[in-house]
Each structure stands twice: as structure tokens, then as C-alpha cells.
Amino acid sequence: MQVGSYSITPFSIQGPLLISPKILGDSRGFFTERFKTKEFQEIGLPVFVQENYSRSQSRVLRGLHYQFDRPQGKCVTATRGKIFDVAVDIRASSPTFGQHLTVILDGAKPEWFWVPAGFAHGFCVISDEGADVEYKVDTLYNPAGEGAIQWNDSELKIEWPITEPSLSAKDQITSSFAKYKMEPKF
């Protein structure tokens, strides 16, 4: 599907989208309009209220995070380096509950990955030089309303491209998907 200067790719799991802007390039480099409010709204995305930025070293893994009180939708892009990005459907009433999808986001190819509320989200850095990641969110962050699922949960069967990632202290003590299923938040 095409919306203005963006090519939109849906996935087998309803909700997430890959948004690819038109790129004008030559031997000097390229130019693109990464974000246009009007066209993002035509795609069906919400108004974004905040933009976050992170820098991570190679082999860093962040996630799988979700917000249940004031749930956040996230539009994620890599501006430098490459990441392996994951969205897990945690909507208990969804026919794809517990399924996940993955994309590679590359700073050299300025695409956006829309991850709506109701998904656990995480990524790992797969480029040697590390990665810079930006993401726009549609709701302000509420630390009291967040949860996390183990990145390597055996039931989810995510085939991460790295082993022994570098994790934050918070990401080392996450819950299993089986525990989430006992009291789903969506």
C-alpha cells in the first residue's frame, strides 16, 4: 500500500506496520522525508506525544517491554547501525496471541516499525559499531504501569541472532510468558 511518499507493509499479525519512506539518492548520498504528521495520520497512526532516543553498544538487548497502564504505541527506527526488532502479540483476545514478528532496522535504510499498544517490544543490536534508535510514542511513559517478558522465553521461540546479550539489571529479572498468560494485561 502507498500513502503519499510512504510504502506501507502490513504483517500476518494485525496491527504492526513497516513504513518505508521514498528515498532520493545519488553518488553523494540520499535524502528522505522521514516523518510527516499528515501522512502518518493517513496511514492510521496516532498523534505522537514524545520522541525517545537511545544509543546501545553491540550485543545489547532491550526488552521485551510493554505498558499496561496508559499503554504506548511505538514507532521505532534505527538512525545508526542495525537492530533486530521484535514485537510479540500479548492481546489475550487476539487470534495471534503469543505470536511474534521480527524486522531488521538499519540506519542506512530509514524505515519505521509501528508497534501498537498490546505488543511487547524489544530489540538487540546486531552491528559491530552499536546502534542509535529513535522511537515516537503516542502516550507518555508511566513507570508504574510497565511490565516485561523474558527475552528468551522458551514458549515464544524467538530466534534472536545473538547469544549471551548484554542486559540491563531490569531486563535480567523479567517474567515468563506463562506467568503473563495467567493475568494478561490486554
The Cα–Cα gap between 103 and 91 comes to 20
Is the CB of residue 78 less than 8 Å from the CB of residue 135? no
- Give the β-pairing of 61-67 and 50-56: unpaired
Closest CA to 143 of 47, 37, 68: 68
Instruction: Report, as residue numbers or ranges, the catalytic residues.
Output: 65, 135
Kindly report the backbone phi and psi dihedral angles of residue 178, in degrees, each rounded to the nearest multiple of 5, phi listed first: -60, -40
The Cα–Cα gap between 58 and 8 comes to 29
